[in-house]
A and B are shown apart, each in its own frame.
Chain A
Amino acid sequence: MGLLKLTLHHIRRSPFQSAIAFLTVFTCFFILNFFLLVNRGLSGVLNHFESKPEITIFLKDGLDEAKVESIQKELASYPEVKEIRYISKEKALSLYKEMNKDNPLLTEMVTASILPASFEVSAFNPKVLEDIAQNFSSKKDIVDEIIYQKDIIQSLLSWTKIIRQSGLVLISVSVLIVFVMIFTLIGMKINNRKDEIKISRLLGASKFYVKRPFLLEGVIYGFFGSLLGFLLSFLIIYNLRSLINAFFQPIIFVSELSLFEPLLLAIEILLGILIGLSASWLGARRYIKW
């Protein structure tokens, strides 16, 4: 009687215990994968904001070209500055018109002369932007206004951090529950089959031989639980993709399929197998005493 056949026989003989073990792994990986995909979306949101100009310095009217160039040079001298964009009055007008193209009344009366020129500055390190804001706010002769999105970013960062940390706690607790559940269920199954184990040992079966079906059982729960947990959460999120992305527009919360998904699937299956195997191995080690 082959190992796989014997293992499937064990699974069929206690269908409720097997179903509980499978459902526990499935739920854990459903949550895990759901969280990972949401986390990926959140990273997209952060990247979006981080890649946008985080500080805008509006200039006073009447500055000559040499003054504007000297301001640009000063901004470029800061370390870790990612991008400096000069928005001239004309450019500001075209942007304004583009933004309000559906409302001609708003654009009719506006000319380039009433819009201020500005610098949009982004940085790799938000601390630099803080320094820039502090320095330029004192230059009242050239600076009209400074808009710094620090508060938005800070709030977004702290929310993302909370969501990530809660996710990690949730995943850790789920993995622990899966581990304890498989360990306990394997123990119960061993107890149910102790006569069979004793007989096999008497017939010359090694300890590893009698453990093998229980180890494979743990691997099967890990494999199928993680596979189906991944598939279900993946299907839900990707079926709602257009809806979710429309909500977060212009940010792409759920991105196109890429190498990331199969890689994630492979890692999750490997993790499922590892959890199933280690829990059943410990269970078999603890409970097989004959």
Chain B
Amino acid sequence: MEIVFDKVTKNYGPINVFEDLELKIEPGEFIFVTGPSGSGKSTLIKLILNQIKPSSGDVLINGVAINHLKSKSEIDKIRRKIGVVFQDYQLINDLTIEENIALNLDIINYPQNKILSRIDEVVKMVKLQHRHFLFPSQLSGGELQRACLARALSIEPEVILADEPTGNLDSANAWNLLKIFKDINKNLKTTIIMTTHNPDFIESLDKKIINLGKSEHGIT
């Protein structure tokens, strides 16, 4: 999945988040999005998910300007190809981890008879086997974030958007999660777009960085 920001400007009322942002994300890339609070990291994720519309410019996915899509079903189709990992997990609290993952698989119309085996696969990938039958309230922060990643991975997404996934984790758990992201990108060739504040993570991997600033932004 190729993602292009073509001169995208986003304002929230009088507040300008970014202006004329241009970037291109090729399939299989691992990209860090960094910048101070309020620089638009989460806004960038929301624009890709078409949760919000740009004030001007276009967000193109595989050449299609998604901000101009009128059909809700087209937007849903795009979202079904994207796995999302949220800082605050966004798991459904009264469903077990297994049921949370199954719900996502059901949404993409995954064959019912293969759902359980797919859940087994992904919980192993994120090292959460033997914990997937628990409810979110019964897991630690690190486990929750891995559960969230397992849900995102389950649908075999073309892109994983991770919005500050390590923000609530201790250092050991955060590094663990980063390693899992790295392995997914390397082995499955899934595009990873991760927003982070942590300069150590960025320096530890030789990956493309999108630096969003108040009035300037750059790609290194």
Q: Which residues of A contact B (CB under 8 A)?
A: 1-2, 6, 9, 13, 195-196, 199-200, 202-207, 209
* Residues of B with C-beta under 8 A to A206: 72-73, 76
* Residues of A with C-beta under 8 A to B112: 2
Q: A1-B102, A203-B104 are in contact. Are A196 and B73 (CB under 8 A)?
A: no
B92, A203: Cβ atoms closer than 8 Å:
no
In this assembly, does B107 line the interface, its C-beta being within 8 Å of a C-beta of chain A? yes
Question: Complex formed: what's the CA distance from A222 to B77 in Å?
Answer: 33
Q: Would you give the shortest CB distance from A196 to chain B, in whole angstroms?
A: 5
B95, A205: Cβ atoms closer than 8 Å:
no
Told that A203-B80, A206-B72 touch, could you supply 17 new A-B pairs with CB distance under 8 A?
A9-B94, A195-B92, A196-B92, A199-B90, A200-B107, A202-B49, A202-B79, A202-B84, A203-B103, A203-B151, A204-B77, A204-B81, A204-B107, A204-B108, A205-B76, A205-B107, A206-B73
Chain B residue at smallest Cβ distance from A196 = B92
The size of the chain B interface, using a CB distance under 8 A, is: 26
Interface positions, chain B 77-125, Cβ under 8 Å from A, are: 77-82, 84, 90-92, 94-95, 99, 102-104, 106-108, 112
In this assembly, does B51 line the interface, its C-beta being within 8 Å of a C-beta of chain A? yes
Interface positions, chain B 28-42, Cβ under 8 Å from A, are: none
Q: A199-B90, A209-B107 are in contact. Are A9 and B76 (CB under 8 A)?
A: no
Question: Complex formed: what's the CA distance from A249 to B145 in Å?
Answer: 76
Q: Would you give the shortest CB distance from A77 to chain B, in whole angstroms?
A: 75
Question: Complex formed: what's the CA distance from A196 to B107 in Å?
Answer: 13
* Residues of B with C-beta under 8 A to A209: 107
Per-residue CB proximity of B46-87 to A under 8 Å, as 1/0?
A: 000101000000000000000000001100111111101000
Chain A residue at smallest Cβ distance from B79 = A204
Chain A residue at smallest Cβ distance from B73 = A206
B103, A207: Cβ atoms closer than 8 Å:
no
* Residues of A with C-beta under 8 A to B76: 204-206
Question: Complex formed: what's the CA distance from A30 to B85 in Å?
Answer: 50
Question: Complex formed: what's the CA distance from A6 to B104 in Å?
Answer: 13
Report the 4 A-B pairs with minimum CB-CB distance, sorted nearest first.
Answer: A204-B80, A204-B79, A1-B102, A205-B107
A202, B106: Cβ atoms closer than 8 Å:
no
Picked from B72, B80, B81, the residue with its CB within 8 Å of the CB of A207 is: B72
Chain A residue at smallest Cβ distance from B105 = A1
Q: A1-B99, A9-B95 are in contact. Are A202 and B108 (CB under 8 A)?
A: no
Chain A residue at smallest Cβ distance from B106 = A1
Of B81, B104, B108, the most chain A CB neighbours within 10 A belong to: B104
Question: Complex formed: what's the CA distance from A205 to B106 in Å?
Answer: 9
Chain A residue at smallest Cβ distance from B82 = A204
Chain B residue at smallest Cβ distance from A209 = B107
* Residues of A with C-beta under 8 A to B104: 203
Question: Complex formed: what's the CA distance from A203 to B107 in Å?
Answer: 8
Question: Complex formed: what's the CA distance from A209 to B51 in Å?
Answer: 18
Question: Complex formed: what's the CA distance from A202 to B91 in Å?
Answer: 12
* Residues of B with C-beta under 8 A to A9: 94-95
Q: Would you give the shortest CB distance from A109 to chain B, in whole angstroms?
A: 88
* Residues of A with C-beta under 8 A to B92: 195-196, 199
Question: Complex formed: what's the CA distance from A66 to B81 in Å?
Answer: 100
Q: Would you give the shortest CB distance from B120 to chain A, in whole angstroms?
A: 16
* Residues of B with C-beta under 8 A to A204: 76-82, 107-108
Show 22 A/B contacts (Cβ-Cβ < 8 Å), sorted by A. Answer: A1-B102, A1-B103, A2-B106, A2-B112, A9-B94, A195-B90, A196-B92, A202-B79, A202-B84, A202-B90, A203-B80, A203-B84, A203-B103, A203-B104, A203-B151, A204-B76, A204-B80, A204-B81, A205-B76, A205-B107, A206-B73, A209-B107
A13, B108: Cβ atoms closer than 8 Å:
no
Chain A residue at smallest Cβ distance from B92 = A196
Chain A residue at smallest Cβ distance from B78 = A204
Picked from B51, B81, B99, the residue with its CB within 8 Å of the CB of A202 is: B51
A203, B79: Cβ atoms closer than 8 Å:
yes
* Residues of A with C-beta under 8 A to B91: 199
* Residues of A with C-beta under 8 A to B94: 9, 13
Q: Would you give the shortest CB distance from B137 to chain A, in whole angstroms?
A: 14
Q: Would you give the shortest CB distance from B110 to chain A, in whole angstroms?
A: 11
Question: Complex formed: what's the CA distance from A166 to B95 in Å?
Answer: 48
* Residues of B with C-beta under 8 A to A195: 90, 92
* Residues of A with C-beta under 8 A to B73: 206
Q: Would you give the shortest CB distance from B209 to chain A, in whole angstroms?
A: 26
Question: Complex formed: what's the CA distance from A6 to B92 in Å?
Answer: 12
Question: Complex formed: what's the CA distance from A9 to B102 in Å?
Answer: 14
